[in-house]
Chain A
């Protein structure tokens, strides 16, 4: 019996030593070096046929970043100026000099997002989005992460009975999708920005370097 405990302990130690552990500092060191305060959200680059996806993501990115402690230039106000400056198409700027956004908006960094998948699949929504935060001071990429997320509405029903499940299944199929898509956008943002180093207005600003972080590219199913 004693041997079994020893084997199990050694085995668990071996298994845990194989798992790579990350911290926020090891994943996003440049965020700590540059300490951006003000962020500007660029309109998302939409590589899908779902035209609503761009607006859904654009209107929902700022809240999680503000909650993380950043000052985010209001996307609703920035949009007009971006259009006036012919800067609405983020594709044109993702690989270009970003310093102009510092001069015009006072932004320390710019957020680009690329939507590669956004579609209803089965009884849920499948999304694949990449986010990049680029410095307007050094033009360096400070944060880069992608999220492959499936939002499962069927298993979210909470019903165990056959009839209940059938009712929920029908309801899910005919439900107006807008709120569901808002939820999908929010969940994507939540996963992406979970590990972002906290900003100036967060109580743990510059104290979160050693907090554990996940891999940069995530694939999750959420309910």
Chain B
């Protein structure tokens, strides 16, 4: 009986720790934070939804997880593109909360965000070389090359 109990405890511990996903999407619930926020921002974009999305992407690129332990395909690219948009720095400057601002060491968002955006788009191509055909022309367009 004691033996069965031990097996049950170990099985429960393993099942609670296991993450069946390949990647981390901002939360481990059934509907991920990524799904909710990207739809929200796509459907009705507000300055608050932009700030939340920036923070979600920052969390996803800083804490890669899941079975592969790397950032999911497309995330560096989406984040990079969002940072390049002047409206993102503007929204963050005016509407980000104190907690959200703490995520970034540099508070000159209009200069820092496009720099970081370029870095993110390059990381997408490094990690996923198949993205180069689409991302490289996009990056050239954004940087004016």
Contacts and interface: CB of A to CB of B under 8 A. Distances in A.
A67 B36 contact: no
A38 B42 contact: no
A182 B22 contact: no
Secondary structure class of chain B's binding surface, majority of residues:
helix
B74 A55 contact: no
Contacts of A76: 38, 42, 78, 81
A71 interface: yes
Contacts, number: 81
Contacts of B72: 66
Nearest to A59: B39
B130 A38 contact: yes
A37 B138 contact: no
Interface string A18-55: 00000000000000000001100000000000001001
B101 interface: no
Nearest to A69: B22
Interface in B53-75: 67-68, 72-74
Contacts of A38: 130-131
Contacts of A77: 74, 77-78, 81, 134, 138
A15 B21 CA distance: 36
A182 B39 contact: yes
Interface in B85-136: 128, 130-134
Interface in A153-186: 178-179, 182-183, 186
Contact of A37 (B78, B130, B134): B130
Given A66-B22, A77-B78, A183-B31, A71 B38 contact: no
Secondary structure class of chain A's binding surface, majority of residues:
helix
A63 B43 contact: no
Contacts of B81: 76-77
Given A106-B132, A201-B73, A74 B78 contact: yes
B23 A55 contact: no
Which has the most chain A C-beta neighbours within 10 Å: B68, B132, B134?
B134
B76 to A, nearest CB: 10
Interface of B: 21-23, 25, 30-32, 34-36, 38-40, 42-43, 67-68, 72-74, 77-78, 81, 128, 130-134, 138
18 contacts: A38-B131, A55-B42, A56-B39, A59-B38, A60-B39, A66-B72, A71-B130, A72-B74, A74-B74, A76-B81, A105-B134, A106-B131, A106-B132, A106-B133, A179-B36, A201-B22, A201-B73, A202-B22
Interface of A: 37-38, 52, 55-56, 59-60, 62-63, 66-67, 69-74, 76-78, 81, 104-106, 178-179, 182-183, 186, 201-203
